[in-house]
Structure 1
């Protein structure tokens, strides 16, 4: 009698999941075309960044700043706390799969009034002492609890990877700010040189006006150039101060820490290169992509856990104890108390709670897949952007350097003619202006090229070795039938 009833209940539970399936489809990274974009890039068998990729910039002060930051900042502390929280949640999910055993000691007394119960019950106080051990266990027949545990493990692994991503983001932000600091100092040098040139031009103009060789126009132009140079110096100094404050904040310190940062030394950018691997392997070093993949894995197990709620649950409970009205009889054989047995339950009508719960799990999976796909596309775009920026900036630097060399030669010719009495100081000062402008332009291009090198190292994962789930299993939508889920749930 019980077997047909149980089978009917199981079939009723299975039918209630019909029509609820996730819609998300994960992209295959190797299907995202990169051949033409990476065609001109240097391909190598071993060009993933080193774990300490910032050392390639060649500045010991920068190395110390990043090491200081990685030792601990509020942002990293928060990321580490999220990891511990996720690990604890995984532990709770694991504990829910296991049996529990608890002990208790209880004393209870009762006296009924005689107005309610006449003697011999009423008017007499009675006490009971109880010592007991209770056992509870709910077998994971359909694998729902195991799926919840795996989902929590996936979230914990994603949090661990995101903690590494926070460190990569922090180190790259410090490196970029440090490059901006170097650029600000270079801008200050150019502004100071322009100030000297304009002051020299102003003095020369005053002499020519006094000698009757020129009018006030030359003086006013020189005064304007001098004031503009003052503004450039003030702007460069403000950028230096602001960048120092930004670096101090990234270190988790106050602005006084920024005052201790000396002028950066000459930074160098390495040649751009991309590992000669498939797109999937290339992006497998990206913490954001790997974390998104783990969240897809977790959401997949969340669907399995939600489906298991539709099936019958079995609860086993038992209690063994001693109970007596007096301590003298508590440990006698007559005081033994035993209670227990199995219980089976199945939701028949729940107002749509289970279906909505499964629909929510499907939506969470779709959201995780969409986020994973978005990370894949964005990651390849960042690699391509960094490569293309590096190539373009290398070409721009060559052109700018050629222009600067020509301007340098023009200034030298003007200086030679002046010393030979064939030219004037005005010619020399006029020839110096484009030279200073090109120095400023070169400083900006070098800073952009260094930023592109930093961005490429970050886009390639910053040298992190990350544990990732199988890309096929982790991104495959859960479309198996309930019967196959039940069959697989019985395997360890």
Structure 2
């Protein structure tokens, strides 16, 4: 009978407290999860808009494999341009800065990853100490000076039950991936800037050709005017009028030569070089393509070919993991620490087996009252996620608009070019006819001047449109991602949501 009583009394003493502990722990975790269930992101990733009608109306040939290659500038068939872009990509301080940011993010990823592993450290110390005569130290040590020698091996590990550390590592991975893609975006921006400056340089050279041809024509007309005056077919006024146009044309040529040097200086700067580098940059010889081939499914695949879109997508991923880190902070932290070593008051006994010390210290901490700091932190991470999502959505919209702009401009440029060629031919024919009549004494110099100005204006416009064709070709390659083939996040951009682990 007494044994039964003893067994009955053992149950509440040993089993109930253990069950109660688990119940209390489960209740604490449940209450922690309920304390933030009302805090969630409000934004979601959107599907890219349709572009089938835009592609169909563009007049371009459609092909699933028509994305630009990584050396898209080689399509202009200018070897000097190829060399300049390669030099810029190799020497630019901007790209080296982007690479440094990637290395910095990689180091932060390593730091975050260290939290998933145990940390082990060794320590050793020797202390000369006088022990109190009235303290807890017993005789014969109390009241004496002693050397305390100690060496320990310390081990610590955080039990990541709620995934806080794992999510922090994933967030660091997302940030590093975003910066890697930003580096590729910077390369695309730099190569586009080199190409566009090179196009401007070629345009200036061609404008110079037009201006020089006009000057030569004006010199010939001035000689013809002198001959007409000698033959008493003209007046001194005609001579002065013909001579008055020469300084203005020479001034225009000087301005164009200045613009050539400025564009060369800009190219040298884009290459990360000093102004002397531009001395070896010769006249561009770029050729525009007469046939445009476009990818057939731009909206669906654009997110995998535009580095700016992909970088924003990785930032969304990182923000999603940061939310999970913020949620895990509501739950208890469980840490294990242990040490093993030697401790002795005399160095002669330091290595004795009896000098060994051992210790294990499990610890748990739970936030009970923190003044709303954890909820505020989670709210901030939710807002950061919403911001990243909306930035992604806007980047996709801007990317589609960018492509649509290039296609619209290319489509209408064909018609403008055809009309401009007719305008140049008509103006040149009229100028030639007036010059013949002027030589025969049947037209005035004012008529010659008027037709010259009209022809010059039309030729300048044609040169501008030819440069515009080159620029649009470069812009289209840039808008399509410049040959980028990234590593995409695991989740689908259109369906990605933050996983609620509460």
Q: Does 1:316 align with 2:359?
A: no
Structure 1 SS opposite 2:43 = coil
Tell me what 1:48 maps to: 67
Worse-superposed segment, 33-42 or 351-360: 33-42
TM-score, reference length from structure 2: 0.89
Structure 1 partner of 2:114: 95
Aligned residue for 2:5? none
Query: 1:78 aligned to 2:79?
Result: no
Is the CA contact (8 Å cut-off) linking 2:162 and 2:331 kept in structure 1? yes
Match of 2:274 among 233, 254, 270: 254
Superposed displacement of residue 209, structure 1 = 5.7
Cα-to-partner distance string for 1:332-369 (whole Å, 9 max, x where unaligned) = 11111011131111100112111111111111101111
Q: How far off is 1:228 after superposition?
A: 2.5
Q: Hey, what does 1:379 align to over in structure 2?
A: 399
Q: Is the 8 A contact 1:313 1:346 kept in 2?
A: yes
Report deviation, 1:479. Answer: 5.8
How far did residue 98 of structure 1 move? 1.1
Write the distance in 1 (CA, Å) between the matches of 2:285 and 2:298: 37
* Higher Cα Rg, which structure: 2
Encode CA deviations 1:412-438: one digit per residue, 9 max, x unaligned: 55566678x585695777655433332
Distance of aligned partners of 1:224 and 1:306 in 2 relative to their CA distance in 1, 3 Å threshold: farther
Mark the CA change 1:475 to 1:365 in structure 2 (over 3 Å): closer, same or farther: farther
Tell me how far apart the structure 1 counterparts of residues 429 and 81 of structure 2 sit (CA, whole Å): 35
| Secondary structure, counterpart of 2:297 in structure 1 | coil
Which one of the candidate residues 167, 170, 174 is aligned to 2:187? 167
Aligned residue for 2:199?
179
Task: Answer with 186-195 or 369-378: which moved more.
Answer: 186-195
Q: 1:473 to 1:138 in 2, by over 3 A?
A: farther
> Among 487, 497, 500, which residue is 1:467 paired with?
487
Deviation at 1:218? Answer: 3.5
- 1:384 Cα deviation from its structure 2 partner: 0.6
1:276 is paired with a residue whose SS is coil
Structure 2, unmatched stretches of 5+, are 1-19
Give how far 1:214 is off: 4.6
Distance across 2 between alignment mates of 1:392 and 1:432: 28
Secondary structure of 1:79's aligned partner: helix
SS state of the match for residue 315, structure 1? strand
2: distance between equivalents of 1:298 and 1:481?
Answer: 16
> Paired residue for 2:6?
none
Q: Deviations for 1:201-228, whole angstroms, at most 9, x for unmatched residues? A: 4444456567665556544543443232
1:39 aligns with 2:59: no
Structure 1 position 327, deviation (Å) = 2.2
Q: Aligned pair count? A: 479
Structure-2 change in CA distance of 1:443 and 1:249 (3 Å): same
Q: Do the aligned residues in 1 keep the contact of 2:324 with 2:501 (CA within 8 Å)? A: no
Contact conserved, 1:56 with 1:270, CA < 8 A, in 2?
A: no
Distance 1:404 1:87 in 2: 58
Equivalent in the alignment of 2:462: 442
My pick for the range that moved more, 247-256 or 466-475, is 466-475
